[in-house]
Amino acid sequence: MAKKLGRSTYLFEKRPVILSSAAVGGEKERNGPLGKGFDFLDIDDTFGEKSWEQAENRMQQLAMKTALQKAHVKRNDLDLIFAGDLLNQCTGSSYGLKELGVPYLGLYGACSTMAEGLLMAGVYIDAGLAGKAAVSASSHFCSAERQYRFPLEYGSQRPPTSQWTATASAAVILGKKEDLPLDETVWVELVHASAGIIQDPLIRDANNMGAAMAPAAAALFMRYFRESSTAPQDYDRIFTGDLGQIGSELLYSLLARQNIRIGDRHNDCGLLLFDREHQDVHAGGSGAGCCGSVLSAYILPELRAGRLSNVLFLATGALFSPTMVQQGLSIPGIAHLVHLRRCERKEENGC
């Protein structure tokens, strides 16, 4: 049974295992540095649908079906799905996954959804309450822009602090070590997870999400290192998603005040997914599909290949709505994290 190390930091005893993952994306994601890691990339971002919202539904469905196939898991063998997205009432998830017939626990964590879902799936699997569980999250640049900002047809200018919502969906299938094929010698397991506290740095600019989310990330890192009795040096890479350039710099300065330095081993998913020099994404990528697709297209493959072995994956979310910003309120941020570890069958001890 998982051990409670602090207020909301857990050490998984049975080490839930990532059985597979899948990422689907659009044209901009294809042209980004991680394009080759995606399982499917659409040529016109419509995914064959008539509206951007329905395209997002289709993306979640496609990512989940692909992840199930890759793990050789039938949908009837899945005990739970944890899913969420940025669309009003999280319809990317509910419409995208409704045909599966799997017990469904809907989440709202904005861009932190993938980490929130991994934490939850880990808890249920570790407690023996789910055999296999899935996590799913998505975002679509076009459905997000018209919902959060302006219709694309306006062609509004974006300030340098703004981030580019990824057109991406990712699904992850989790289970127990016994669910791995016998000839599988390498896998990735969940070691720790930690649920974050909402922080409100009083940012009122809906085009500066990085600044709104950085304090939540900093607060969670500080608490997590303390509660897990670990330090940045215990991880060979620390990923955030999706602070972008401005949020990442703010994170460094907030952590530096507590003498915590992660800059030498930190990457932000929003800065990995796109090439800021050649793709017009301003402060970087964002969206609930961004860090999930980077996890599937880059972080998990790097872990399996042995180029990484201990990774922190902290996802941030801005828990606001356009209505709240229009009414002059500030934008609260949240963060959740999981610690992922590479395991090899030959060195069973510790794994």
- Interacting residues toward its own copies by CB under 8 A: 1-4, 7-8, 10, 50-51, 53-54, 79-80, 84, 86-91, 93-95, 97-98, 101-110, 116, 119-120, 123-124, 126-130, 195-198, 200, 319-324, 327, 329, 332, 334, 336
CB of residue 123 vs its own copies: minimum separation in angstroms?
A: 6
Tokens of 252: 């460094």
CB of residue 99 vs its own copies: minimum separation in angstroms?
A: 8
Rounded to whole angstroms, the Cα distance separating 173 from 175 reads 7
17 close to 175: Cβ distance less than 8 angstroms: yes
Q: Given the complex with its own copies, which of 50 and 257 has the nearer CB atom?
A: 50
CB of residue 124 vs its own copies: minimum separation in angstroms?
A: 7
Q: How many residues does the chain have?
A: 351
289 close to 90: Cβ distance less than 8 angstroms: no
Q: Given the complex with its own copies, which of 147 and 310 has the nearer CB atom?
A: 147
Q: Given the complex with its own copies, which of 264 and 328 has the nearer CB atom?
A: 328
CB-based contacts of 308: which residues, under 8 Å, 6+ apart?
Answer: 236, 237, 299, 302, 342
| Sign of the alpha-carbon dihedral angle for 305, 225, 80, 83 | negative
CB of residue 2 vs its own copies: minimum separation in angstroms?
A: 6
Rounded to whole angstroms, the Cα distance separating 223 from 228 reads 8
- Tell me the three state secondary structure of residue 194: strand
Q: Given the complex with its own copies, which of 17 and 212 has the nearer CB atom?
A: 212
Q: Given the complex with its own copies, which of 127 and 305 has the nearer CB atom?
A: 127
CB of residue 40 vs its own copies: minimum separation in angstroms?
A: 23
